[in-house]
Structure 1
Amino acid sequence: MFGLVFLAFIALAASEFDHEIHEKFKTLPKHEFISYFNSLNHSWAVEDYGEDEHFYGAQLDSNHGLPTITHDAIELPEYFDAREEWSHCKTIKEVNNQAQCGSCFLFGAINSASDRTCIHAGVHVHLAEQEGDCIRPRESCKGGDPAKVVSFWVKNGLVSQECKPYDILALYNDGCKEECRNSSIEYSQDKHYAENAYKVHPTVEAISAELIKNGPLVVGFTAFADFRKYRHGVYVHKFGDFIGYHAVRLIGFGIDENGDDYWLAANSWGKHWGEEGYVRIKRGQEALKLEDHVYGGLPKIS
């Protein structure tokens, strides 16, 4: 019975795209479309962010080589927020900004690694997104696979932002630099490693259980033009063409006052976007395939 209900839910989620809204999006002036869409009172609202260009950059490779883990069935709460569960870990509460660079895959994976290093190793550290210079030398701003970032965390370790501050020009132009910009820090001594890395079984239940047990995760999903315009509410893909893949940091889940169930994620486009940098995404959307690309790891405890 549960399987039938769940399949029906997935079919409903897959049918949310609205061709009429899509045609309005393509033909109306921006300000008219914003007013039109918001007047429909869907589960979410849009905004015109002007000339701000939000960069996508995830590459979702099914041949990532990571093991898939799952969890025994547990009774899940309706609401979970890692910011509340591990309130002592300040990185979980932070929203970052990748700026004009397709480095979302670095931010999602490395920021979640910072969170988990605090949760499980008791070490408060901001790990460096700039390690992209060694993960994808001169290519990080063109995007990459978050699964490869968590694998890098295991094999090569990640240094802190004090060692390697975020520098877009360097990501574009420099090769791998195994050195710290801060001369007082020794690169090899600043490394923080993971014990393992894995993909989470692609079900709402397994992903939710992993969040509750081990903390934030990096997720990749199919991105459409409407996601760029998200302001608040529970995002459901309604209009806009495919524009690439995106990665965010998954930190929780819940059900809103209208009964819409959602994932809670921290984006890396700054606090001016969305709900002060956060987004709620309806779970189980076939078009997004978010549940198919969920990755994490556990820090090595010395």
Structure 2
Amino acid sequence: MLVGLAWLAGLGAAEARRNYGFARNPNFEPATSIPRLRTSSRGNAAKTLPRSFDWRNIDGVNYAVADVQQHAPVYCGSCWVHAVVAMLNDRLKIARRAAFPDVMLARQVLINCAPKSTNGSLNVGFNGCDGGDERDIYVALLQRENWLPDETCQPYEARNRSCDALHTCTNCMPTDDGGSNCFEVPAFTTYGISSWRAITTPQMGAAEREAAIQEEIFAAGPVVCNFAAIPEFDENYTAVAQQHGGVYRTAANVTSDDINHDIVLAGWGITQGGVKFWVGRNSWGTFWGDNGWFRIERGVNALLIEGACTSAVPTFDALDDELDGAQGGGPLGLAQISPKGERWSHRPGRSSMPPFLAKAHATDLLLQLGEGGQAPPKLGSASLMPSLVALALALALAVSAYAAGAAAARRHVRLDGRAESDGARASLLSGAMGAH
């Protein structure tokens, strides 16, 4: 313990720009103009957003998936991977209304097959522990061939491994000599994204950035933000926060060249003393900060935390297929169940957005229908009926479009043709267990 403290005390100026994994990709054009969400377009964000909000406690329900650590069993500069995965994990849980199961995407697969966009083309297979840009992950996950399995396919190792099938989804069986044979799992559930967007840019004003981040968090879930993590934040977060009612505040002068980290923002609040703060998730373990999380001053772009934030919309069609009995699994992964066979469902409830969000989205649509130079109709007025009819029609069209899209995309699970029959699967498994 004393040795560790002495090491920390000896950190000097050379450590001021320690990199936790963020590496800006210059091939991305900087965003200069961002479409805003509905609340700010009407200039009433402050009136519609709650004073405090935290996805870890929405009417007593936690929508935040488990915390992890990027720096063990060896040091790995993978914050960009961890931040995106944490954001997508939580958004999956939010979209599915905290229904079974919690999904944790495979961080190690992104480490093994780290993506990078160059000259308009995407390549994978870089070393993820060497750092990267979260936007490259979004571009990759838009393509189905780059979709990710969950953590059970490839547990986190904090090491750069090969980008191949074995290091995408792996299973192991014991051998007679006490060892193990590990083999590729050919069929497993995968997850991607349908879209991504920039939430803020450095060119936006402070109030505009703050409102944009709040609106996105409230409407859809946590966001990923670039961050200049200075040594004080890393090593003395708690001590500094204790001086300000539990909120980290700093006057450190940093520039875009000091951005070295990606974090996740999942809420906001204000202390009894009137200090506004963000609720943030880090990837340094639950022994750091506030059980792995932190609170940092809001609205002042502290350590540039508000200057460049992004988000993405995850997909989970294949999970619904599996939960509804369209596939069954074994040591070699998923297999198609005969369409004529009896189906069942493991879903504990209907997958949908939290009730308060559904209400907010319905209100949004009413506001949009009422725009165009006129005030939106008031509840109880006769003029509301045409809007309600339009709302019902819009919702019906949206449901119809979603159903068609879901049916077209229903086969989002990688299935190996060799494993269609029980006999073929048994032969494959026997061969895999006996391979050397």
Residue 171 of structure 2 is aligned to residue 182 of structure 1: yes
| Alpha-carbon separation, structure 2, partners of 1:279 and 1:270 | 12
Partner of 1:246: 261
Q: 1:77 and 1:271, CA in 2 relative to 1: closer, same or farther beyond 3 A?
A: same
- Aligned partner letter, 2:260: Y
Q: 1:101 and 1:207, CA in 2 relative to 1: closer, same or farther beyond 3 A?
A: same
Kindly indicate whether the alpha-carbon contact (under 8 Å) linking 1:78 and 1:254 is maintained by their aligned counterparts in 2. yes
Residues 145-187 of structure 1: CA deviation (Å, up to 9, x unaligned)? 1122222222222210011110123x2xx23123312269845
Q: 1:152 and 1:226, CA in 2 relative to 1: closer, same or farther beyond 3 A?
A: same
Q: TM-score, normalised by structure 1?
A: 0.72
- Aligned partner letter, 2:164: K
Q: 1:146 and 1:225, CA in 2 relative to 1: closer, same or farther beyond 3 A?
A: same
Shift in Å, 1:62: 6.6
Partner of 1:102: 77
Residues 15-60 of structure 1: CA deviation (Å, up to 9, x unaligned)? xxxxxxxxxxxxxxx99xxxxxxxxxxxxxxxx6999x98611124
Q: 1:221 and 1:109, CA in 2 relative to 1: closer, same or farther beyond 3 A?
A: same
Q: 1:89 and 1:177, CA in 2 relative to 1: closer, same or farther beyond 3 A?
A: farther
SS for the counterpart of 2:28 is coil
| Alpha-carbon separation, structure 2, partners of 1:126 and 1:223 | 25
Shift in Å, 1:256: 1.2
Q: Relative contact order, CA 8 A, sep 6+: which one is greater?
A: 1
How do 1:208-287 residues align onto structure 2 when only pairs under 5 Å count?
Answer: 208-229=214-235, 230-231=237-238, 232=241, 233-239=246-252, 244-286=259-301
Kindly indicate whether the alpha-carbon contact (under 8 Å) linking 2:229 and 2:261 is maintained by their aligned counterparts in 1. yes
1:84 to 57, 60, 84: 57
Kindly indicate whether the alpha-carbon contact (under 8 Å) linking 1:89 and 1:118 is maintained by their aligned counterparts in 2. no
Q: 1:244 and 1:217, CA in 2 relative to 1: closer, same or farther beyond 3 A?
A: closer
Q: 1:187 and 1:104, CA in 2 relative to 1: closer, same or farther beyond 3 A?
A: farther
Shift in Å, 1:107: 0.7
Shift in Å, 1:220: 1.2
Kindly indicate whether the alpha-carbon contact (under 8 Å) linking 1:79 and 1:254 is maintained by their aligned counterparts in 2. yes
- Aligned partner letter, 2:36: T
SS for the counterpart of 2:296 is strand
Q: 1:244 and 1:210, CA in 2 relative to 1: closer, same or farther beyond 3 A?
A: closer
Alignment length (residue pairs): 252
| Alpha-carbon separation, structure 1, partners of 2:217 and 2:128 | 27
| Alpha-carbon separation, structure 2, partners of 1:256 and 1:266 | 18
1:134 to 113, 123, 128: 113
Shift in Å, 1:196: 0.8
Partner of 2:197: 198
| Alpha-carbon separation, structure 2, partners of 1:166 and 1:86 | 32
Residues 92-136 of structure 1: CA deviation (Å, up to 9, x unaligned)? 152211012111111110111111122224563110111221125
| Alpha-carbon separation, structure 2, partners of 1:59 and 1:96 | 21
Residues 212-249 of structure 1: CA deviation (Å, up to 9, x unaligned)? 11111211112222111211422223459886511112
| Alpha-carbon separation, structure 2, partners of 1:300 and 1:195 | 6
Q: 1:273 and 1:103, CA in 2 relative to 1: closer, same or farther beyond 3 A?
A: same
1:120 to 95, 103, 113: 95
Shift in Å, 1:69: 4.4
SS for the counterpart of 1:142 is coil
| Alpha-carbon separation, structure 2, partners of 1:275 and 1:50 | 25
Kindly indicate whether the alpha-carbon contact (under 8 Å) linking 2:21 and 2:78 is maintained by their aligned counterparts in 1. yes
Partner of 1:64: 28
Q: TM-score, normalised by structure 2?
A: 0.52
| Alpha-carbon separation, structure 2, partners of 1:66 and 1:129 | 26
